[in-house]
Amino acid sequence: MLYTLAPLERHSDDGFGAVGEAFKAAADKLVEAGESQRMFWSELPIIFLLRHAIELFLKSGIIIVHRRLRLAYGTEGYKTKKPMLFTSAGTWKPLLKTHDIQAIYWYWNKLLTENVERITAVSLHKSDMTIPPELAGWIVVIGAVDPNSDYFRYPITKNEQTDKEKSSFKEVALDVLLPSAGQEKLKAMIIEDQDGNFVRAYKYDSSTNRETEDAARKAADMLSNFHIMLRCELMDGW
């Protein structure tokens, strides 16, 4: 793939896909470290990296299809350095200023689905461009939790209630603190008063953000494949 050895500004998608691959590779390295080597809250940067990779793959695909099929972005020509996003409301908005992953996916899906015959006609190897239905479900999971690409990047966002849900340490009552037989090892902090009386406890919950991380991994893997396919099929490796 020629783009991997060329400056980003020479890429057919202005570098979006290659940078997406870099973010995904960084996340993969953290995942490969294994559960035993993870620090508390380490799933937050993993999901952030994967989510950003997904966003970049989607934006790359939109740019590639527009340029290969010479589709204008409303009043903007297909060669523009200011690509646009068509919304479900029927309006155009700057693609580079949009981080709503569900909105970006909606247009990416629309482009590939509605232009599949034209895409196939100009593709080199006539690869199957069918979008697996499960991808939409993974995007919904990620987008519902992090619509603005800030939830996993910062400890505090505009939504105080959901911010509390991202922490893997949860306050629990004493009677539910200790695990039952067969459960994983307990990780918790118990706070006592000066007389040794129980005040509160914080227990580590390993399932926190697990659904989102799983969805992000699967979506990033699938979109990485789509990204490479579009580069090879439509842009001759560029």
Distance from the Cα of residue 189 to its chain's centroid? 32
Predicted confidence band at 54 (pLDDT cuts at 50, 70, 90)?
very high
Predicted confidence band at 49 (pLDDT cuts at 50, 70, 90)?
very high
Contact call for residues 46 and 215 (beta carbons, < 8 A): no
Tell me the sheet residues that pair with 81.
none
Output the pLDDT for position 181.
55
Residue 184 phi/psi, 5-degree rounding, is: -65, 165
For residue 87, the SS3 value is coil
Could you report the per-residue pLDDT of 197-221, keeping only the tens digit for each? 999 999 998 889 999 999 999 999 9
Please state the rounded mean pLDDT for residues 56-74: 98
Sign (positive/negative) of CA torsion 219, 220, 225, 226?
Answer: positive
Please state the rounded mean pLDDT for residues 30-38: 75
Computed over its alpha carbons, how large is the radius of gyration of the chain? 22
Sign (positive/negative) of CA torsion 202, 203, 205, 206?
Answer: positive
Could you report the per-residue pLDDT of 137-196, keeping only the tens digit for each? 999 999 999 999 999 999 999 888 888 899 999 999 988 887 665 566 788 999 999 999
Output the pLDDT for position 38.
67
Output the pLDDT for position 40.
80
- pTM for the structure as a whole: 0.93
**Percent residues over pLDDT 70 in the chain:** 96
Contact call for residues 230 and 64 (beta carbons, < 8 A): yes
Q: From CA 38, how far away is CA 185, in angstroms rounded?
A: 15
Please state the rounded mean pLDDT for residues 90-109: 97
